[in-house]
Amino acid sequence: MATVVTTVRRSFSTHWYAWAMVLPVVIVLAVLVGYPLGKGIYLSFTDANEANVARTIGVNHIEATYKSVGLDNYWKVLSGQEGHFYSRLGWTVVWTASCVFLHYTIGLGLALLLNRPMRFRALYRVLLILPWAVPAFVATFSWRLMFNEKYGVLNALLTKLGVGSVDWLGDATLQKVSAVAVNVWLGVPFMMVAILGGLQSIPRELHEAAEMDGATPWQRFVHVTLPGLRSVSGTVILLGVIWTFNMFQVIYLLIGQGAGSESEILVTYAYRLAFQGIRDYAGSATYGILILSLLLVFAVFYRRMLSRQEAVR
Amino acid sequence: MSAARTVRPRGQRPRGQRSRGQRSRTASAALHTALVAASAVSVFPVLFIVYVSLRGRDGWQEPTRWTGLDVSNYTHILGETKFLTWFGNSVIVALGATVLGVLIAATAGYAVSRMRFPGHRPLMWTFLVVQMFPMAVLIVPLYNILGELELLDSYAGLIVTYCSVSVPFCAWMLKGYFDTIPAEIDEAGRVDGLSPFGTFWRLVVPLARPGLAVTGFYSFITAWGEVAFASQFMSSEEHYTLAVGLQTFVGQQKAEWGLMTAAAVLITVPAAAVFFLAQRHLVAGLTAGGTKG
């Protein structure tokens, strides 16, 4: 017992300033993330909605009357009773995969093009980064205007070409294509710049050595460039998946708040549950926890996969 | 590059043996064509919005016909809507979130970068995991908590909320940045009798100014463009931020796209200015933090 006390005391005296420095962050995260998370988990086990949570109307304070329902919410969602979980999950996965795939491949392509001495390089770089500089909600509204069925510029151009106008945001499939297009437009610059940074950190000597050994450009790309990019790619793809999976603004503002939209991803659906119609706080919390669990599982597997690849090399 | 090409004629090198930085005329043309096309796609929506905003209230309905330019959209939103109020609100909230967020992220990032203490690894993991939190899981409890604290519809509530979004990422990035500052500097400070806090404040913070600026820009832009929290937390029109206010131009019933585009341009200008100052460092900090995590 005494040794434990001494260990703790010694540990405190050596580490107190480190702890003091992280304390503000820990407090902020505990109060604003930890506590809400705990409360969210708690709500997901209840039947809380707008009608039975504690609230104050004028001077009257009404106590909360919601009660615990155990795992009912999760059962309803996961067994498919609640209706749309699996179809939305499917679309969310397709959305994330296609967006991140396009982000990465286009970003990689542009980075490879830019990573060489040429005229106007700085100008291209600035122009290609531009979408990143536009706030996402502004860009989304702009695209909504361009996609407008009657007055949008895309349809005007198509009509001039004799194709006829297309209902970009009304049709269920095109809606999804449009959303992916907007998100790809928004997300490519980040990938491009990150990969460009990675490319520049690959030592020139490696390329030169490969060239001396007679490697073709393709062989150099596969055996020098791609392995050199591995750590950057690992990070940006993980971040990209997380951000895209939770991408709220594009879907919410582009497709609008129309009820029962097929093109909603899990996050926007959870948001709608919480703030439209009869506010279903418990259902929304359940969805939130499920989204978080999915992402956590993905992140753990992904990092494990990366480190295994690293070990194999 | 072009000089080298004139000195050594193309035909003398076998295919595939050309050293990088020298390419045939065809390859050069293809390269520039690809880049011009990509640049056009990335720039077109932005230019288009600027163009529509300069065409008067109903100009957006005929995007392909040339009718001359006028600035009536700008005068209208500046004079007759609450745009300036919203702009001010956005500035207050974004600046507040930036200052608060960078301050606390910096100390934490420094501690994680320099000191090996119990709780070090879990904290790094927390920074990563918190970025995975969908706002959907936090928004309802936060709404209730802020309601109980009577911070709904107030600047303070929104500022604190944005901090929780940006702090983990900033701490992660700053850790990467502090890692690039040699530890010998700290040791020299300690030898000269500075306390750990003194070392941080007097030596490391001044050296890390570019890194701090970048995280500041990041927090600012995140707060500037946030929609979900602002839409629910700020309920009175006086307190709308730009992201909320802009939605009122293009609601379910009316669609004032002319005004919307003018507002969009005015919102983008400061964000873009801030962004271009920061972007070069942003990714360096990000990847440094990520790869060494």
CA dihedral defined by B277, B283, B288, B293, rounded to 10 degrees? 120
For residues B118 and B150, state if they share a domain.
yes
Split into its structural domains, chain B has a count of 2
> Which residue, chain included where needed, has tokens 């260990």?
A7
For residues B168 and B228, state if they share a domain.
yes
Cβ contact (<8 Å) for A141 and B260?
yes
Residue A56 phi/psi, 5° resolution? Answer: -120, 120
Find chain B residues with C-beta within 8 A of A37's C-beta.
133, 137-138, 141
Q: What is the DSSP letter of A91?
A: H
C-alpha angle A18-A21-A24 in degrees, rounded to nearest 5: 140
Q: For residue A104, give the H/E element and its range.
A: helix A85-114
**What CA–CA distance (Å, rounded) separates A243 from A100?**
10
B256, β-bridge pairs = none
pLDDT value at position B128? 77
For residues B62 and B123, state if they share a domain.
no
- Give the domain-ending residue among B29, B46, B72: B72
Distance from CA of B166 to the nearest CA of A (A): 11
Cβ atoms of B273 and B279 within 8 Å: the answer is: no
Which of A22, A115, A147 should be substituted to probe chain B, the one whose Cβ sees the most B Cβ atoms within 10 Å?
A22
For residues B197 and B172, state if they share a domain.
yes
* Closest Cβ–Cβ partner in B104, B119, B268 for A28: B104
Q: List the end-to-end C-alpha distance of chain B, in Å, as a whole number.
A: 39
pLDDT band, residue B11 (cuts 50/70/90): very low
Q: What is the CATH number of the domain that holds B178?
A: 1.10.3720.10
Cβ contact (<8 Å) for B272 and A17?
no
- Give the domain-ending residue among B43, B72, B101: B72
> Is B250 part of any domain?
yes
For residues B130 and B183, state if they share a domain.
yes
> Is B203 part of any domain?
yes
> Is B3 part of any domain?
no
Cβ contact (<8 Å) for B272 and A134?
yes
For residues B178 and B247, state if they share a domain.
yes
> Is B1 part of any domain?
no
pLDDT value at position B293? 37
Span B104-159, pLDDT tens digits:
888 888 888 887 777 788 888 888 788 777 776 788 788 878 888 888 888 888 89
For residues B58 and B193, state if they share a domain.
no
CA dihedral defined by B179, B181, B183, B189, rounded to 10 degrees? -140
Cβ atoms of A74 and A152 within 8 Å: the answer is: no
Joined together, the tokens standing for residue B226 give 């946030």
Chain B, nearest residue to A113 by Cα: B31
Domains and CATH numbers, chain A: 2-62 (no CATH), 84-279 (1.10.3720.10)
Cβ neighbourhood burial of B17 (10 Å; 0-12, 13-18, 19+) = exposed
> Which residue, chain included where needed, has tokens 């004139």?
B6
For residues B64 and B208, state if they share a domain.
no
pTM: 0.80
> Which residue, chain included where needed, has tokens 């070990």?
A311
**Quick check: B6 pLDDT over 50?**
no
For residues B39 and B90, state if they share a domain.
no
DSSP conformation letters of A227-257: HHTHHHHHHHHHHHHHHHHT--HHHHHHT-S
**Quick check: B233 pLDDT over 60?**
yes
A68, β-bridge pairs = A46
Looking at A111-125, B86-100, B247-261, which range is the least confident one? Answer: B247-261
Domain residues for the domain of B31 are 19-72
DSSP conformation letters of chain B: -HHHHHHS-GGGSPTT-SPTT---HHHHHHHHHHHHHHHHHHHHHHHHHHHHHTB-TTGGG-TTS----B-HHHHHHHHHSSHHHHHHHHHHHHHHHHHHHHHHHHHHHHHHHH---TTHHHHHHHHHHHTT--HHHHHHHHHHHHHHTT-TTSHHHHHHHHHHHHHHHHHHHHHHHHHTS-HHHHHHHHHTT--HHHIIIIIIHHHTHHHHHHHHHHHHHHHHT--HHHHHH--SGGG--HHHHHHHHB-SS-B-HHHHHHHHHHHHHHHHHHHHHHHHHHHHHHHHHHHH-
> Is B11 part of any domain?
no
Cβ atoms of B288 and B175 within 8 Å: the answer is: no
For residues B33 and B129, state if they share a domain.
no
How many angstroms from the chain centroid is the CA of residue A229? 21
Cβ contact (<8 Å) for B142 and A36?
yes
> Is B280 part of any domain?
yes
Cβ contact (<8 Å) for B291 and A235?
yes
For residues B28 and B115, state if they share a domain.
no
More confident call, A311 vs B45: B45
> Is B4 part of any domain?
no
A291 in contact with B at a CB cutoff of 8 Å?
yes
Question: How big is chain A, counted in residues?
Answer: 313
For residues B101 and B243, state if they share a domain.
yes
Tens-digit pLDDT profile for chain A (313 aa)? 567 777 777 777 777 777 888 888 888 888 888 888 888 888 888 887 777 776 666 666 767 777 777 788 888 888 877 767 888 899 999 999 999 999 999 999 999 998 888 888 888 888 888 888 888 888 888 888 888 777 777 877 888 887 777 777 777 788 888 889 999 999 998 888 888 888 888 888 888 888 888 888 888 888 888 888 887 888 888 888 988 988 888 888 888 665 456 778 888 888 888 877 777 888 888 888 888 889 889 988 888 888 887 676 5
